[in-house]
């Protein structure tokens, strides 16, 4: 399976350009419904969310299955998530607000969920910029890992952005599914962190791990 995953990775990551290309093609052909700009903006945002969740899923899936080659997928998925999030933000600024900064500022004041989404995209910038081996060496593994834990804050902000946007129409079903998945991922990370802390505790005190007595 590891060999297959390594061989499939470049092709799978290349195919992730297809949803954006398809959405833009439909928009240019005026086949995205009555409000093509809104459909394009939301389509790009939804793909950003999907790819962000897939990025978060890589490590738990790798540890559960033992498929070590999955580790090589995380960077590519994360960069695509950032790319779609950036396209989502730019499409909003250009198609919805005509690139008018004053209009964007007024819209953000009236609809704060847009500010939450923009902050999520901005937090992705340092993660994308430091996703390469040279950045890991420069920062050091510990600082790099600490920085990249921001991805969970990004996920929470993205979920809040989406929930807030859908709340006006009371369309919460799909949001609830993503929220449940994120809760599971956060629970897994918390459990793993507690396990690591317990494993380090005996070493820190100089005592061997305690054993249950029968």
Judge whether 74 lies within some domain: yes
Tell me the per-residue pLDDT of 51-76, one tens digit each, with 9 for 90 and over: 999 999 998 999 888 888 888 899 99
Judge whether 214 lies within some domain: no
Judge whether 204 lies within some domain: no
152 pLDDT more than 70: yes
Sign of the dihedral defined by the CA atoms of residues 47, 53, 58, 64, in that order? negative
- Name which of 4-8, 26-30, 103-107, 166-170 the model is least confident about: 166-170
Q: Residue 11 and residue 27: Cα distance in Å, rounded?
A: 26
Judge whether 181 lies within some domain: yes
Residue 30, SS3 per DSSP: coil
- Name which of 64-73, 109-118, 137-146, 204-213 the model is least confident about: 204-213
Q: What is the dihedral of CA 119, 124, 129, 134, to 10 degrees?
A: 140
Number of domains in the chain: 1
Range of the domain at 6: 2-199
Query: Which distant-in-sequence residues (6+ apart) come within 8 Å of 69 by Cβ?
Result: 1, 2, 3, 5, 6, 9
Q: Residue 203 and residue 104: Cα distance in Å, rounded?
A: 54
Percent of the chain at pLDDT above 70?
91
């Amino acid at each position: 399976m590891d060999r297959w995953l390594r061989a499939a990775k470049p092709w799978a990551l290349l195919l992730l350009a297809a949803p954006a290309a398809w959405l833009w093609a439909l928009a240019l052909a005026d086949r995205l419904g009555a409000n093509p700009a809104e459909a394009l903006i939301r389509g790009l945002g939804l793909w950003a969310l999907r790819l962000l969740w897939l990025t978060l899923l890589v490590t738990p899936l790798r540890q559960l299955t033992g498929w070590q080659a999955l580790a090589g997928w995380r960077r590519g998925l994360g960069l695509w998530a950032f790319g779609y999030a950036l396209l989502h933000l730019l499409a909003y600024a250009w198609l919805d607000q005509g690139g008018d900064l004053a209009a964007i500022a007024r819209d953000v004041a009236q609809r704060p969920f847009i500010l939450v989404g923009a902050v999520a995209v901005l937090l992705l910038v340092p993660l994308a910029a430091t996703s390469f081996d040279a950045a890991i060496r420069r920062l050091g593994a510990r600082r790099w890992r600490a920085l990249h834990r921001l991805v969970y804050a990004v996920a929470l902000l993205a979920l809040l952005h989406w929930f807030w946007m859908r709340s006006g129409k009371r369309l919460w079903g799909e949001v609830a599914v993503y929220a449940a998945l994120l809760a599971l991922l956060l629970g897994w990370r918390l459990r793993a962190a507690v396990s690591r802390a317990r494993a380090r505790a005996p070493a820190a005190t100089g005592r061997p791990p305690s054993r249950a007595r029968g």
